Amino acid sequence: MKDKVVLITGGSSGIGRALALEFGRKGSKIVITGRDAGKLAEVGAELTREGIDYLAVTADVSAQADNELVVSRTLAKYGRLDVLINNAGISMRAMFEDLDPEVIRQVMDINFFGAVYATKAALPHLLESKGSIVGISSIAGYRGLPVRCGYSASKFALNGFLEALRTELLYSGVHVLTAAPGFTASNIRFASLGKDGSQTGETMRDEDRMMSAEEVATHLYKAVVNRKRELVLTTQGKLTVFLNKLFPGFMDKMVYNELAKEANSPLRKRS
C-alpha cells in the first residue's frame, strides 16, 4: 500500500483512527474525515508525529455535498484515490416500541447513506485506479440484534449495497470488501443514541474484553492488500454468522439471552 491514497470516513476516533495509523505506517497517504474538527486535529497530530502524509477534512458523511468536497480535495492534493474505507458509523440502543423513528433515520443517514454518498463520489476515481471500496459493517448486518433494530437495519442495508456493487463491478478491476469487526473496544457505544435520539454517554458492555481497534485495523489492512471479499472477526462473530444460517430459531434465543445480560438491558420476557 506504499504511496496509495486511502480515504477513511469517520477517521477521528476508534477504528477510523487506528486505520489511519495502520495504513499510514505502511506508507499510504491518508485522508481522514469527521464532523469534529478538534478530534480530527488530534489524530492529525498523531499522524504528523509518525511522519505520515495526510489530509484532514471536516465533513458530515450524511451530506452528499460534503462527500463530493472531500473527494475533490483529495484529488486536488494527491491527484488520485486508491482506497475508500466507509467507516463512519453510529449506533443506537432502545426497544423499538419505545423508539422515536427519527433515531432510525439518523442512523441510516450516517451508516448507510453516508457510505452510498462517499462511494458515489469516489467511484470514478477508484475505477481509474482499480482500487478498493471497503464497508465497515457489523455482525449486526448478518444477524439482527434486539435493542439495536435501527443499527442492524443500517448494516443489513450496507451489506446488500456492497454485495450488489461488488457484482456490478465484477469485471472492472475494483475490489469490494465487506468487513464485520464484531464487538470492538471503541467509542461507538458511548456515542450511541437512546430512544429519543440523545447520546447515552455510557457503554453497556465490558470494553476490556473486546478486540481492540488496533487489532481490527491490522486485520483490515491485510484484507485490503489481499483483496478479500469478506472479513468477519472474533470467534463470537464467526460463530454467530455461521450458526444463524443453520439454526435461526435457536439463535433467536441465544442472542436474546446474551444481550439481556448487558447492563440496564431493556429486554424482558413477557407472559
Q: Looking at residues 86-111, what average pLDDT do you find?
A: 96
Q: Looking at residues 15-40, what average pLDDT do you find?
A: 97
Q: Looking at residues 163-173, what average pLDDT do you find?
A: 98
pLDDT tens digits, one per residue of 29-40: 999 999 999 999
Per-residue pLDDT at 268: 75
Per-residue pLDDT at 244: 96
d(CA 136, CA 217): 11
Complete domains list, the chain, with CATH: 5-234 (3.40.50.720)
Higher pLDDT, 83 or 201: 83
Closest CA to 163 of 142, 144, 185, 187: 142
Mean pLDDT of the chain: 93
3-class state of residue 189 by DSSP: coil
- Is 256 catalytic? The answer is no
Closest CA to 218 of 43, 3, 5, 19: 19
Answer whether residue 45 shows pLDDT above 70.
Answer: yes
Please report, rounded to a whole number, the percentage of residues in the chain having pLDDT higher than 90: 85
Higher pLDDT, 192 or 240: 240
Q: Which of 54, 117, 142, 151 is catalytic?
A: 151
Closest CA to 259 of 15, 14, 95, 141: 95
pLDDT tens digits, one per residue of 172-209: 999 999 999 987 766 655 678 999 888 775 655 455 66
Per-residue pLDDT at 271: 43
